[in-house]
Structure 1
Amino acid sequence: MELTPRLRLMNWLVHQGLTGLSENDLLRGFCERCRAGGMPLSRGLIFIDTLHPIFEGRGFRWNESETNESDIFEYGSTSSGDAGQSWRRSTFYHMLQNGHDEMAIDLADCATLDFSMINELAEKGHKHFVAFVHRFGEAGTIGEMDCFYSYWTTRQSEGFGEHHMAALRDLVPVLGLAVKSAAQVDIARTLGRVYLGRETAEQVMRGRISRGVTERIKAVLWYSDIRGSTAISERIGPDEIIPFLNDYAQASIDAIHDAGGEVLKLIGDGVLAMFTQQNMAVAKRAALRAEHRFRRNLNALNARRAGEGRPTTSAYVGLHVGEVFYGNIGSEDRLDFTVVGPAVNEVSRIASMCSSVDRELLTSQAFRDGLDAAGRNYLVSTGRFALRGISRAQDLYTLDPDVATDEVVAGKYERYLAS
């Protein structure tokens, strides 16, 4: 690959890295331009560790011809199990262990090598393999993201040759820098969604981070709380507490997200969420849909946990509607993007009343009144109650018991929620 196309490719990588091209498109554009410049690439694979609660990292593939392989793959922990064994057999692990940055293998003579992937590549007609590990400095490391890994193959029997190797040595680090830039954006968005919530993260990523900047919105508020969690936590072993809390949090968060809600905060074993729509009746129906899905999730979860001999429980849900302030609240160096206002306090108090009236769902009158006639018919009064810390008593409503006991009513309710 001559100097001029090499420089053009470097410039393209820098430009696309600045504009935010995805990792997959960066790899494809890189490989296509390498081939157009005379480099006989037949396959390229890159991967980079990340900071994610589930995946250890993400990888990307390119092939000169169509294959059944996915262009993008994600991988879990490589510290144990089959993934760990495969990682320890990889060329990259060997390179890290021995302090190598580059490793070339003649695939025509690799039968004695015990590296994963190598024999498979040879069987597919690739003749020469070269792998690179580009390490990040301490200041450039985020979590496990401390290296950019890549390998490249050619079908030419003579291999890449020193001229092509020199081009790869120049170009791959620039590709790595562009991929790292894209991966860091992915990490920022992931951390935002995981710790702040979907819509809240988007607000922050769009630059709404100034202290005291809020907007006044009308929202349907959800507060749910695990039933008897303190007593259960005292009975089970310490190593079971977090899995217990995680299982029931997952059941509620999945239901809220599936119905279009936004989880704002996890408060111990409680979940604060909101549903917003221009038409508040639509938002209220979405909240009821989430509550219904939450119960189904709980049934499935409890069946699984009971089969495993692990403790089970249920949950209380309070639903309310009101005006709240949504935005940045806190000190100069520690902000929380959340909702505040009397309605937030009220919804938590409503949820706390569930145990007193022995109902798993309670809604305020304001929530019920905004529903259409069909929706109001499914909510029945439990009485008027004084809420702790709230100046005025409130009428509270729960789901008509017939929804749980009468199949016909249950079917009508499900069709109402789906409409």
Structure 2
Amino acid sequence: MTASTGSRDRLLLEISSFITEHALAGTGEAEVVLGVCERLVAGGVPLCRMIVGVDTLHPLVVGRLHTWRRGSGIETTEFGREVIDSTMTSWASSPFHDLYTGGTSLYRFRYPPPDGRYPFTVLEELAAFGLTDYVACLQRLGDGVRLGELDCVYSSWATDGPGGFSDADVALFDALGRFLAASIVSRTVRQIACTLAETYIGAGAAERVLGGAIVRGVADRIRAVVWFSDLKGFTSMVDTVDPALVLPLLDDYAEPQVAAIHAHGGTVLKFIGDGLLAIFPVGEDAAEACERALAATDAALSALAEVSARRSSNGLPTTGAYFALHVGDVFYGNIGGADRLDFTVIGPAVNEAARMSAMCRPLGRDVLVSQAFAGALSQLQRRLSPVGSHTLRGVAQPQALFAVIPESRKRDDV
């Protein structure tokens, strides 16, 4: 065993222990990568540039890349799905693509090339930085670990040192790549779990589920503003428009509502056809929660009007939405079968909000609120106009309902 190999073996043990310790502690990827690079340099490895990247399973983000440069620290870049087409050319002409499609796991390139030719565009671009050696590694994930596009972790290691890397350095990178991949996959899988939970059941419900609230029939009794909305004339619209236009329409009209609810501290629980169920949990002050829900409704109405204007100018079908706001006690937790649960809210307040939404059309109002909601408001009661007591289907007693006057209109215009 040469001295160089022995020193690299000791360095491998030190850095792999560092990676493992921080992986178990849940340390962020960038911090781990930074620590690895700093320890390599301190251990005598002539590293000047290193990158590690991973694809992920996310509705908006394709993947992320951590880039370390000597003297500059580390930089993290996320790639959104909107730029994937523009990055395909560079990906296809990279050493990583060659490793990915060729079934190998390590590629090395020494500068300058004897024939003056660069097999990959990025290698020629990096030549301007005075590199003398470049190593690319690809760690493939097994079938039991892969999640969507998360199927490998790639890294590259470069030096501008006059002698390049030693063979022991290259072996060290190959070994460390495996430890880094395991660490990054562990962290990424947790992020994917959080993302999927938040995307499909909402941030508040996701936090509870990932925190251990997964037992069927266990629910918390909370007080909340219940939001129920649905699209105007959607059932008849589905029968008359091109089916290919229905899903984009639903997306266009759901997005502003979701954005408004989240911006005002609410949680979207589920989509029910063209309907949307959300809650605004009540803290110490019910008026504050009601005011946030009302502000979210205002924001949604404004944004939906813009959506309709844009769609109309493009010759696409348009619609609007009805909104119902109620406040009351609900049960918030797991409901369903033993192996198929829904984390949602149930209770009379939820049913009443849904029935109130159905009253918007016959009453000719876009937004209706309940007596309980109106009673919780303080200064904003001036924006409410009584529309009488009405019998709601499945509700024993007639309920007093109030229309919401748009902010841009005066009370005497109603």
**TM range, normalised to the smaller chain?**
over 0.9
Contact 2:94 2:120 in 1 (8 A): yes
Task: Select the residue among 351, 365, 370 that pairs with 2:371.
Answer: 365
Per-residue deviation, residues 94-144 of structure 1 (Å, max 9, x unmatched): 122222211112243396335343222221233321111111111111111
Distance in structure 1 (CA, Å) of the matches to 2:377 and 2:244: 44
Letter of the aligned partner of 1:319 in structure 2? Answer: L
Distance in structure 1 (CA, Å) of the matches to 2:80 and 2:257: 26
**Are residues 1:342 and 2:357 paired?**
no
RMSD over aligned CA atoms reads: 2.0
Contact 2:49 2:70 in 1 (8 A): yes
Task: Select the residue among 245, 251, 272 that pairs with 1:240.
Answer: 245
Per-residue deviation, residues 7-49 of structure 1 (Å, max 9, x unmatched): 0111111111111111111111111111111111111111111
**Are residues 1:59 and 2:65 paired?**
yes
In structure 2, what is the equivalent of residue 394 of structure 1? 399
Tell me the secondary structure at the aligned position of residue 61 of structure 2.
Answer: coil
In structure 1, what is the equivalent of residue 189 of structure 2? 184
Tell me the secondary structure at the aligned position of residue 396 of structure 2.
Answer: coil
Tell me the secondary structure at the aligned position of residue 57 of structure 1.
Answer: strand
**Are residues 1:24 and 2:63 paired?**
no
In structure 2, what is the equivalent of residue 296 of structure 1? 302
Contact 2:140 2:153 in 1 (8 A): yes
Letter of the aligned partner of 2:51 in structure 1? Answer: L
Q: 1:409 to 1:66 in 2, by over 3 A?
A: farther
Shift of 1:74: 2.4
Q: Which runs of 5+ in 2 are unaligned?
A: 1-6
Letter of the aligned partner of 1:54 in structure 2? Answer: L
Distance in structure 2 (CA, Å) of the matches to 1:359 and 1:28: 58
Distance in structure 2 (CA, Å) of the matches to 1:306 and 1:70: 43
**Are residues 1:131 and 2:136 paired?**
yes
Tell me the secondary structure at the aligned position of residue 271 of structure 1.
Answer: strand
Contact 2:64 2:76 in 1 (8 A): no
Contact 1:77 1:83 in 2 (8 A): no
Higher deviation after alignment, 53-62 or 116-125: 116-125
Mapping 1:299-378, distance limit 5 Å: 299-372=305-378, 374-378=379-383
Distance in structure 2 (CA, Å) of the matches to 1:295 and 1:233: 22
**Are residues 1:193 and 2:198 paired?**
yes
Task: Select the residue among 386, 390, 395 that pairs with 1:385.
Answer: 390
Distance in structure 2 (CA, Å) of the matches to 1:196 and 1:42: 44
TM-score of the aligned structures, taking structure 2 as reference length: 0.93
Shift of 1:77: 7.2
Shift of 1:2: 2.5
The alignment covers a number of residue pairs equal to: 405
Distance in structure 2 (CA, Å) of the matches to 1:88 and 1:202: 39
Distance in structure 2 (CA, Å) of the matches to 1:88 and 1:386: 64
Distance in structure 2 (CA, Å) of the matches to 1:25 and 1:151: 17
Distance in structure 1 (CA, Å) of the matches to 2:412 and 2:392: 31
Per-residue deviation, residues 304-338 of structure 1 (Å, max 9, x unmatched): 22222211211000000111111111221111111
Shift of 1:409: 10
Shift of 1:246: 0.8
Contact 1:107 1:119 in 2 (8 A): no
Task: Select the residue among 145, 152, 160 that pairs with 2:157.
Answer: 152
**Are residues 1:115 and 2:110 paired?**
no
TM-score of the aligned structures, taking structure 1 as reference length: 0.92
Letter of the aligned partner of 1:192 in structure 2? Answer: A
Shift of 1:256: 0.2
Distance in structure 1 (CA, Å) of the matches to 2:127 and 2:104: 23
Contact 1:56 1:75 in 2 (8 A): yes
**Are residues 1:96 and 2:90 paired?**
no
Q: 1:220 to 1:97 in 2, by over 3 A?
A: same
In structure 2, what is the equivalent of residue 142 of structure 1? 147
Tell me the secondary structure at the aligned position of residue 16 of structure 2.
Answer: helix
Q: Which runs of 5+ in 1 are unaligned?
A: 411-419
Letter of the aligned partner of 1:353 in structure 2? Answer: M
Letter of the aligned partner of 2:312 in structure 1? Answer: A
Distance in structure 2 (CA, Å) of the matches to 1:127 and 1:270: 61
Letter of the aligned partner of 2:395 in structure 1? Answer: I
**4+ runs of 1 displaced by more than 6 Å?**
none
